[in-house]
A and B are shown apart, each in its own frame.
Chain A
Amino acid sequence: MSTVGTGSNDKCKIGVYVCHCGINISSKVDVSKTVRFAAKLPHVTVSREYKFMCADPGQDLIQQDIRDGRINRAVVASCSPLMHEPTFRNTMAEAGGNPFLFQMANIREHVSWVTLDNTAATEKAMSLISAAVERVVFHQPLMPNRVPVHPDVLVVGGGIAGIHAALTLADAGQKVYLVEREPSIGGHMAKFDKTFPTLDCSACILTPKMSAVRAHSNITLWSYSEVIGVDGFVGNFKVRVRRKPRYIIEERCVGCLDCIEACIYKSGKVPDEFNEGLVKRKPVYIPFPQATPLVAVIDAKTCIGIRTGKCKMTCIDACERDAIDLNQSEEINEIEVGAIILATGFKTFNAKRIYRYGYGKYSNIYTSLELERMVNAAGPTGGEITLKNGQKPKAVGIVHCVGSRDNKTNKYCSKVCCMYSLKLAHLIKERTGAEVYNFYIDMRTPGKGYEEFYDRLLEENVHFIRGRVAEITDWVMTPEEEGKLVIRAEDTLVGVVRRVPVDMVVLSVGLEPQPDAEDVGRLFNISCTREGWFLERHPKLAPVSTFTDGIFLAGACQGPKDIPDSVAQAGAAAAEALALIDRGYVVLEPNTAYVQDELCSGCKTCIDLCPYGAISFDDEKDTAKVNGALCKGCGTCVASCPSGSLQQYLFTDDQIFSEIKGVILYA
Chain B
Amino acid sequence: MPERNDIERFFDPKIVAFFCNWCTYTAADLAGTARMTYAPNVRVIRIMCSGRLDPQFVLSAFREGADGILIGGCHPGDCHYQEGNYQALRRFILLKRLIHAFGIEKERIRLEWIAASEGDKVQRVINEMTETVRRLGPLDLEPITKKVIDYMSVTHHEMVSISHRGSS
Q: Do chains A and B touch in the complex (CB under 8 A)?
A: yes
Contact B28 A110 (CB under 8 A): yes
Given known contacts A116-B37, A123-B40, A634-B80, A109 and B117 CB-to-CB distance under 8 angstroms: no
| A647-662 vs B, Cβ < 8 Å mask (1 yes, 0 no) | 0100101001101110
Query: In the complex, which residues 12-60 of chain B have their Cβ closer than 8 Å to any Cβ of chain A?
Result: 14, 16, 21-23, 25-26, 28-29, 31-33, 35-38, 40, 43-49, 51-57, 60
Taking CB atoms, residues of chain B closer than 8 Å to A111 are 40
Chain A: minimal CB distance from B164 (Å): 5
Taking CB atoms, residues of chain B closer than 8 Å to A612 are 81
Cβ of B78 under 8 Å from chain A: yes
The residue on A at minimum CB distance from B83 is A611
Contact B45 A659 (CB under 8 A): yes
Contact B32 A657 (CB under 8 A): no
Taking CB atoms, residues of chain A closer than 8 Å to B83 are 611, 636
Cβ of A117 under 8 Å from chain B: yes
Chain B: minimal CB distance from A438 (Å): 33
Contact B51 A636 (CB under 8 A): yes
The residue on A at minimum CB distance from B27 is A527
Contact A527 B22 (CB under 8 A): yes
Contact B32 A114 (CB under 8 A): yes
Contact A632 B81 (CB under 8 A): yes
Q: Complex formed: what's the CA distance from A121 to B38 in Å?
A: 11
Contact B29 A82 (CB under 8 A): yes
* Size class of the contact patch on chain B: 35 or more
Q: Which of B31, B49, B56, B78 contacts A634 (CB 8 A)?
A: B49
Given known contacts A634-B84, A636-B81, A598 and B165 CB-to-CB distance under 8 angstroms: yes
Contact A113 B81 (CB under 8 A): no
Contact A113 B40 (CB under 8 A): no
Q: Complex formed: what's the CA distance from A273 to B42 in Å?
A: 52
Q: Which of A110, A116, A530 contacts B44 (CB 8 A)?
A: A110
Contact A635 B52 (CB under 8 A): yes
Seed contacts A131-B43, A651-B47, A663-B43; 16 additional CB < 8 Å A-B pairs: A81-B46, A82-B25, A106-B44, A110-B29, A115-B37, A116-B37, A120-B40, A547-B22, A611-B82, A634-B52, A636-B51, A638-B52, A657-B60, A659-B45, A664-B16, A665-B64
Residue contacts A-B, CB under 8 angstroms, 24 given: A109-B28, A110-B28, A113-B32, A115-B38, A116-B37, A522-B77, A522-B78, A527-B22, A530-B117, A547-B80, A598-B164, A609-B87, A633-B48, A635-B47, A635-B51, A635-B52, A638-B52, A639-B53, A651-B52, A656-B54, A656-B57, A657-B60, A660-B16, A663-B45
Q: Identify the 7 closest CB pairs spanning chains A and B, nearest first.
A: A109-B32, A636-B51, A635-B52, A634-B81, A120-B40, A634-B49, A113-B32
Q: Which residues of A line the B interface, CB within 8 A?
A: 1, 80-83, 106, 108-111, 113-117, 120-121, 123-124, 127-128, 131, 522, 525, 527-530, 535, 547-548, 591, 598-599, 609, 611-612, 632-636, 638-640, 648, 651, 653, 656-657, 659-661, 663-665, 667
